[in-house]
Structure 1
Amino acid sequence: MKIHNRFWLSALFSAAALVAVNTMASPLPQQPHVYVEGSAELEVEPDMMVFSLSIQTVDMDLAKAKADVDARSRLLIDASKKFGIKANDIATTALNIRPEYEYKDGLRVLTGNNVSRQVDINLRDLKKYPEMMKALVDAKISETINTTLTVSDKKAIEEKVQNAAMDDAKARAGRLAKSQGQSLGAPWSISEFNNRGNERWELRPNRELMGSSAVMKADAMSLQRASGEPFEPGVMKITAQVYVVYLLK
């Protein structure tokens, strides 16, 4: 009798575990529902340019290399402030110091100490872009200048486009339900992640701000472009997708 009871309890627990696993494996409800993807796209005008510069020097004398990077960092900050850029729009990283080697006759030989720092500058007045780029090129602060157009209030724009994507999802679900003689109920789940198939494990939010960026080499050609070429920021596109499960009435 005890053996039968143990077998019955074991089977009961196994069945319960199987139901739990199946329930966890499916992100969808067991009752009638409609699963839709809502999407939206907005075009916005960029209002900020981010300049990214890597300031670095390689020298056998570590103190000399550090002094050079510090001096060019101060020059960059001073040049930026002339364009009305505030301190909170200038971000500098700590110094990165590492030795550099090369192999000669099978032996690793120290060739110098690489000292570098990354500096990011937010330019909020895009009309000043050509003059600022020219000033940075003339100052020879960095060999490469990366620029990226963006928006200053990205969070508010993301919220706006996500709300639009939700409106699109509800409209799609309503049309599908009506085509089958059903009415739409309350949302059962709302997600930025695609829960269909193996994609649910990727957990990548489906929202993106797409714009343009450029890399300028600090040479004569770049100087000519920066000072003489018209600058038009154009527009950026921000997209969002949401995945919503609505119950059917």
Structure 2
Amino acid sequence: MKHVICALFLSLCSLPLLANPLPAQPHVYVEGSAEIEAEPDVMTFSLSIQALNMDLAKAKADVDQRSRLLIETSKKFGIKTNDIATTALNIRPEYDYRDRERVLTGNLVSRQVDITLRDLKKYPDMMKALVDAKITETINTTLSLSNKQDLENKAQVAAMADAKARAERLAKSQGKALGEPWSISEFNTRGNERWQLVPSRQLMGSSSNKVMMEMRAADSSEPFEPGVIKLTAQVFVVYLVK
């Protein structure tokens, strides 16, 4: 029993050493960061098609008819089939309260359709066509990047270069030479919060935000500037010094 207690005591004493993310020898701990701006080249239209009717069959027929119209309209702009995603129908009864009694007001049938536009030059004309077709009352649009992964990788490499440059400056200021990297991480391991790690990568910019667009009389010549999306990356590197 004494051996078990002793072994447990030694194990507990060694935990801080095992948990320490920094080396025992001289080192420099730096954070490198980088930011890349890119113009979005993909837009996703999200439309919710709904119909409310006491006759369930009529409500479904209305949603189906407008769904077909939406798909046909999209294909006129060169949208491929694999860039059109439709959800299954959602059907539920709708109620209202009258004189403290719940009264059925109809059956709500709905479906969401997401359309990916890969040529932003077609956006004004496509938006006008969708509005003129009166398929739905609202349209959500989201701008994104077709090469997002490549740009994230590029930002990460740039962040690593920034970390090395920072470390070299710090080491040189103390008359030291920079050695090999001891650890490289996307996470900040300096604090006790290391069990709640979240990668320090972000996709920011007004172009990346979802925007609700109210239906209105659309003009194909409406001004449209996609802006830029900022991709940021951070790395945390421990370099040995010599």
Do they superpose with TM above 0.5? yes
Partner residue of 2:234 out of 238, 241, 244: 241
Secondary structure of 1:28 counterpart: coil
Secondary structure of 2:156 counterpart: helix
Secondary structure of 2:220 counterpart: helix
> CA separation in 2, counterparts of 1:102 and 1:150?
40
Partner residue of 2:213 out of 198, 212, 216: 216
The residue aligned with 1:165 is 159
Equivalent residues in 2 for 1:1-249, closer than 5 Å: 6-7=1-2, 9-19=4-14, 21-211=15-205, 212=207, 213=209, 214-220=211-217, 223=218, 226-249=219-242
Report percent identity of matched pairs: 70
Structure 1 gap segments, 5+ residues each = 1-5
Cα deviation, residue 196, structure 1: 3.1
What do the CA deviations read for 1:185-217 (whole angstroms, capped 9, x no partner)?
222222222223254344322222223243211
The residue aligned with 1:3 is none
Structure 2 gap segments, 5+ residues each = none
Go from structure 1 to structure 2 and tell me whether the alpha carbon gap of 1:109 and 1:195 turns closer, same or farther (over 3 Å shift): farther
Please tell me the residue identity of whatever aligns with 2:230: K
Please tell me the residue identity of whatever aligns with 1:114: L
Query: What is the TM-score normalised by the length of structure 1?
Result: 0.86
Please tell me the residue identity of whatever aligns with 1:231: F
RMSD in angstroms over aligned alpha carbons?
A: 2.1
Secondary structure of 1:227 counterpart: coil
> CA separation in 2, counterparts of 1:47 and 1:173?
36
> CA separation in 1, counterparts of 2:131 and 2:203?
28
Cα deviation, residue 158, structure 1: 0.7
What do the CA deviations read for 1:11-58 (whole angstroms, capped 9, x no partner)?
243122331x21354333333322211111111121111111111222
> CA separation in 2, counterparts of 1:39 and 1:136?
42
What do the CA deviations read for 1:53-109 (whole angstroms, capped 9, x no partner)?
111222222222222212111111110100011111111222222332333343333
> CA separation in 1, counterparts of 2:196 and 2:56?
44
What do the CA deviations read for 1:105-135 (whole angstroms, capped 9, x no partner)?
4333333222222211111111111100000
> CA separation in 1, counterparts of 2:234 and 2:185?
9
Please tell me the residue identity of whatever aligns with 1:216: M
- Structure whose residues are more often helix by fraction: 1
Cα deviation, residue 8, structure 1: 5.3
Go from structure 1 to structure 2 and tell me whether the alpha carbon gap of 1:8 and 1:57 turns closer, same or farther (over 3 Å shift): same
Moved more, 102-111 or 234-243: 102-111
Go from structure 1 to structure 2 and tell me whether the alpha carbon gap of 1:26 and 1:114 turns closer, same or farther (over 3 Å shift): farther
Query: What is the TM-score normalised by the length of structure 2?
Result: 0.89
